[in-house]
Structure 1
């Protein structure tokens, strides 16, 4: 890939420490559920890529028999993909092993370095680029599903579930993140899929509010079972739920 530099597996995927703080850029579920400790987070973008729901998922958002679809990046000379970057402390020895399991071993992604551009605080200000780690799924991985007509992708997303919840929740939370954090950003692929999923849910009498509420309850139960009370209370995202049957 011309726009990124792949990090050798024996250099990063098993590495537990780094000599200085580093950035991780997320453009999918990491945007609202990073799952690791970080010092700072900022919205921003990477150049030369477009987001596509072309990667299959058989654990978090689907099963072996019915894989879901999650986001990856494809090279696009004119493309810009918005997301969120997280600054991780050098002494954090848990973030990289956690992401190696979540993104690489289970998800089929590879680690790359890329130039990340933080969102300017003011329209007239400039944003200095930063090096960031990035996880991208390429066609050679076993979970790759590739391109398909948008209605077909939307129906697949609506029908699939995994251990982390419904595939539709992944799509809707990502669309909500984009609208709320970067309202000026354009992502026709993402928002077209969101519109189709909402339409098909309405046609099938599926209440997305109930679907997403059940997924949130499962996550909260998991946290309560493993974490002392109130330790992560401030990190639980507010529910922004809609029901298509209203």
Structure 2
């Protein structure tokens, strides 16, 4: 199924095919609704502003990652974090065989959240959708998957959309972000809050592109004598994630495979 047909369909809610009809066949959806769109259930993967500002109602939030992609600030924003005259930059995913992108998966139910995401990510943001496997960081009492991978819906911008700005030297990207602002706030806030999410939720992992960009932006602001807090807007509400629940050990070897080797020394006692 071409997922783009769902999120670029401009027909109204009274059309012959419901959201449930369009979504049938997507692996991460539970459709046992007898034609009722309000019972649609699926998992959405967030790797940008969704990590700290989902903007929709959800029932569960789990931290983890998907494989085969890296996060890059190569998508333009002329509404949320920029303007047509001075576009901002927001995150998208670029395919990379050994890549891993950390974020969080939200479990949502009903048509409302999907319609909101269609407007926010696709109509305004220029994103399309695809399916991917999500690997939870830990097994928790908040998810039925017990640490095993499960399918998620992912929003991704490609170089085929009109808002694509692509790669530039990292310093040029930092300069552009430091000068851009839109309806949702300053572009700097987007980067800082995403970096904060990584530090707070996955302190042992890194994202070189994100953290290098954050460092350069901070240096630019220091030279301009611009206080960072003046660009940060209203602090978002704290999101209850798996890390704030009673954590159990993973039931797979997924995380053991990523633990760095340790050398042990024998001591004579």
TM-score range, shorter chain: 0.7 to 0.9
Say if 2:63 and 2:136, in contact at 8 Å, map to a contact too.
yes
Q: CA deviation at 1:216?
A: 1.3
SS at match of 2:234: helix
Say if 1:6 and 1:113, in contact at 8 Å, map to a contact too.
no
Larger Rg: 2
Match status 1:9 vs 2:9: no
Match status 1:117 vs 2:118: no
Say if 2:180 and 2:186, in contact at 8 Å, map to a contact too.
yes
Q: Which runs of structure 1 show a deviation greater than 6 angstroms over 4 or more consecutive aligned residues?
A: none
Q: CA deviation at 1:211?
A: 1.7
Corresponding residue number in structure 2 for 1:236: 237
Aligned counterpart in structure 1 of residue 113 of structure 2, from 95, 115, 119: 95
Q: CA deviation at 1:236?
A: 2.4
Match status 1:76 vs 2:96: yes
Say if 2:74 and 2:90, in contact at 8 Å, map to a contact too.
yes
Say if 1:25 and 1:84, in contact at 8 Å, map to a contact too.
yes
Corresponding residue number in structure 2 for 1:201: 221
Corresponding residue number in structure 1 for 2:155: 135
Q: Determine the C-alpha separation between the residues in 2 that align with 1:54 and 1:8.
A: 20
Corresponding residue number in structure 1 for 2:106: 86
Stretches of structure 1 lacking an aligned partner (at least 5 in a row): 218-234, 239-246
Query: Could you list the per-position Cα deviations for residues 33-84 of structure 1 after superposition, in whole angstroms to 9, with x for gaps in the alignment?
Result: 1111111000000000000000000000000000000000000001000001
Q: CA deviation at 1:138?
A: 0.1
Q: Determine the C-alpha separation between the residues in 2 that align with 1:11 and 1:196.
A: 35
Corresponding residue number in structure 2 for 1:225: none
SS at match of 1:94: helix
Q: Determine the C-alpha separation between the residues in 1 that align with 2:215 and 2:58.
A: 33
Q: CA deviation at 1:167?
A: 0.2
Q: CA deviation at 1:179?
A: 0.3
SS at match of 1:41: strand
Q: CA deviation at 1:93?
A: 1.7
TM-score, normalised with respect to structure 2: 0.74
Stretches of structure 2 lacking an aligned partner (at least 5 in a row): 11-17, 24-30, 32-39, 141-145, 240-269
Query: Could you list the per-position Cα deviations for residues 2-54 of structure 1 after superposition, in whole angstroms to 9, with x for gaps in the alignment?
Result: xxx85141478676456252100000000111111111000000000000000
Relative to structure 1, the CA distance from residue 207 to residue 48 in structure 2 (aligned partners, 3 Å threshold; closer, same or farther) is: same
TM-score, normalised with respect to structure 1: 0.80
Query: Could you list the per-position Cα deviations for residues 100-123 of structure 1 after superposition, in whole angstroms to 9, with x for gaps in the alignment?
Result: 00000100000111111111249x
Q: CA RMSD, aligned part only? A: 2.1
Say if 1:54 and 1:147, in contact at 8 Å, map to a contact too.
yes
Relative to structure 1, the CA distance from residue 117 to residue 171 in structure 2 (aligned partners, 3 Å threshold; closer, same or farther) is: same
Say if 1:13 and 1:100, in contact at 8 Å, map to a contact too.
no
Q: CA deviation at 1:127?
A: 2.7
